[in-house]
Structure formats: structure tokens, C-alpha cells
Structure 1
């Protein structure tokens, strides 16, 4: 599989260092669509605060990807749902820590989650 980032230099605002405008996926044999994943522990309890929930979210995403024989390097698209716009900076920092140098198209949306204790929910698409 080959990932080809697309960041046009003209006609659109510049991409920042933590994402790309578009990702072309060539030669992928599989696609994995991961449901919105919350910062819940293995018993279903939410983390105590934003930082703990972000850690749990990324641990949960890694476990889900591993069950399909994938890693975060297989992620080709990511959407974050934030309960409060003030969570944007911490969410971006957690994402870049989880992905390292791997940049993908991302969107962050401020939304009311189904449970007020869920501060962030993240869904990803992975290819392999």
C-alpha cells in the first residue's frame, strides 16, 4: 500500500504541520472503518478527565487496529468529536503524539456526545 499526501500550494489554505488536506491510498487491499471510540476503560467507565480520556481513546484505537492486524500507521482519515471547543489543543497534541510523523486528513467537530461524561470521541478509517 502506498499513501500519497496531497497539499496543493495554490487555491486552498495551507495545511498545518499536524495534518494533510487529502490522502490518496494506492494498492490497499482492505479498508477498516472504526466506529467513534470513547475514552472508556475496559469496564466501560470514562477516564477521570480530558487527558485520561484521550490516553484511553488512543489505547482503544490501537487495540481495535491490532485486532485487524493494523497499527496507527494504517490510519488514512480521522474525525474527532469534541464536547467543548476548549478541548481542541489537547486533542491535537494527543493525535500528533499517537501518530508521530504519520499525517492524515483530520476534522474536529464540536458536538454533544450521547453521555456528558464522554469528552471526546474519535473515529478513524484505516487501510492496509
Structure 2
């Protein structure tokens, strides 16, 4: 399987250093669509801080992907749902760490979550 970043520069605004406009996936045999995943521990309790929830959400994403014999290296698309716009920088930094600097198409949306204790939710598509 091959991931081909698509980052045109003519006639479109430039992508920032933490994402690409698109990724072409060649030769994929499997796709995994991961539901929005929160920063909850194994008991269903949210982390006390944004950083704790970001650590938990990425741990949860890794656990879900492992069930499909995949890792974060298989992520080809990502959405972040943030309770507050001020969470954007920390969320981007956590994503960059989790993906080891690999850039994927991503969208961050500020939204009201179902529980006010849930500060961030991550949804991904992975391919293998």
C-alpha cells in the first residue's frame, strides 16, 4: 500500500506544516472507520485536563486500530471535534506527536459535545 500526499500549490491556499490537502491511497485492501473517540479511561471517565484527555483519546485510537492489526501509521483521514477553539493548538501538537510528524488530511471543528466533561473527540479513517 502506498500513501501519496497531494498538496497542490497553484490556485489554492497553502496547507500549513501540520496537514496536507489530500492523500491518495494506492493498493489498500482494507478500510477502518473509527467512530468519534473521546478522552475517557477504561471506566468511561474523562481525563481531568485537556492534556490528559488528548493522551487518552490517542491511546484509545491506538487500541481500536490494533483490533484491526493497524497502527496510527494507517490513518489516512482525521477529524477533531473540540469543545473550545482555545484547544486547537494543544490538539494539533498532540496529533503531530501521535502521528510521528506524518501529515494527513485533517479537519478541526469546534462543537458542543454530548457531555460538558468531554473536551475533545477524534474520528479517523485508516487503510491497510
**TM-score in terms of structure 2 length:** 0.99
Q: Which runs of 4+ in 1 moved over 6 A?
A: none
The separation in 2 between residues aligned to 1:95 and 1:120, in whole angstroms, is: 12
Tell me the equivalent position of 1:70.
70
CA deviation after TM superposition for structure 1 residue 102, in Å: 1.5
Tell me, in whole angstroms, the C-alpha distance in 2 between the residues paired with 1:54 and 1:35.
16
2:9 matched residue in structure 1: 9
Q: Which runs of 5+ in 2 are unaligned?
A: none
- Report the equivalent of 1:50: 50
- How far residue 101 of structure 1 moved from its aligned partner, in angstroms, is 2.7
Query: What's the RMSD between the two structures over aligned residues?
Result: 0.5
Cα distance in structure 2, aligned partners of 1:12 and 1:30:
31
Deviations, residues 3-49 of structure 1 (Å, cap 9, x unaligned) = 00000011111111111000000100000000000000000000001
Number of aligned residue pairs: give it. 128
| Distance in 1 between residues matched to 2:47 and 2:120, nearest whole Å | 11
How far apart are 1:74 and its partner, in Å? 0.1
Q: Distance in 2 between matches of 1:126 and 1:103?
A: 13
Matched, 1:39 2:39: yes
Q: Please identify, of 98-107 and 88-97, the stretch whose mean Cα deviation from structure 2 is larger.
A: 98-107
